[in-house]
Amino acid sequence: MATDTYLNAGRRAVIEEMQRDGSVWALGEDLGRGGVFGQYKGLQEMFGTSRIADTPISEACIMGAAVGAAMTGTRPIVEMRFSDFALCAVDELVNQAAKARFMFGGQMRVPMVVREPIGMWRSSAAQHSQSLEAWYAHIPGLVVVTPSTPADNLGLLKSAIRNDDPVVYLEHKNLWVLEGDLPDGEHLVPLGEAAIARAGDAVTIVTWSAMRHVCLIAAETLSAQGVEVEVIDLRTLWPWDRDTVFGSVQRTGRLLVVQESVSVAGFGAEIAASVAEALHHDLKAPVRRLGAPRIPIAYAPALEDRARVSQESIIDAVRGLIAPRTAA
């Protein structure tokens, strides 16, 4: 084991996969200078300009070139800088890459990874702070991945690069500096497999990305008060691990879904509805969701914090779920 950051874990994944497979390459703005956050630092010197390719400032151009390259036998890694900017390339991703396998009767695959940094990053304001994972989970043909730890960023990115369908890979900007243990040697995390980050029997909390860490802090506080919650990190939103979530809710009888993104029409609604439909006889309390209000994210820190899901709001929601049993 070695300790390293979430950012460097992703960088290591790219290096290892490019060394393993000559068809893997990356393209985006300023990759030769290391990328906007340093995810590609030194890679152009290692692999050359044909495999770490700098592009024009045009997301549609970047995505369109990658889709065509993937259709003709390579495995591009597309760097979108910010998930907000990737909206300029939605047509190429949603109408072309996501549908090609179906429209060509399985004769064509589009093995590409689209890296999109997501989430609130202090005072980045409305155009640089969004989490749009629900948009992509809604689109048939796309795989959606949301790593939350350095080890998962290493193992999931490697699995995403090897996947034969287009993967939208959403890395949270606040996690770049997060440190954690990275396994030595080959490390792959299967797509579609959740992680039980903390075991418990009172309430199941399902979350993903940076909210995993907020939920774990809340769980520690609740544990000191005698309430043991189970925290499940989905890791992959599509496909999502229904078996792990359903199994946990059957044990606890209560579900709280926690997401940083806007609660309205968020992916948490899919989980809540699926559990309510399948396990209504096992539930001891109504399913709850926590997410941001339907407002743009402000630049001012005080207003930005109003949109954040906090440790305190998670604790209050858990207490609300167990209150009927306590009162009884």
Our answer to whether residue 281 is catalytic in this structure is: no
Helices (H), 27-145: 43-47, 59-71, 90, 100-103, 133-137
Query: Who contacts 105 (Cβ-Cβ below 8 Å, separation ≥6)?
Result: none
Q: From CA 298, how far away is CA 127, in angstroms rounded?
A: 9
Order of all β-strands in the sheet with 75-79? 52-54, 24-28, 75-79, 113-115, 167-169, 143-145, 236-238
- Rounded Cα gap, residues 57 and 60, in angstroms: 9
**DSSP assignment letter at 230:** E
Sign of the dihedral through C-alpha 86, 89, 94, 98: negative
| Beta-strand pair 195-198/229-233 | antiparallel
CA distance linking residue 208 with residue 215, whole number of Å: 10
Among 161, 120, 166, 112, CA closest to 144: 166
Active-site pick, 128, 172, 187, 213? 128
List, by residue number, the catalytic residues: 128
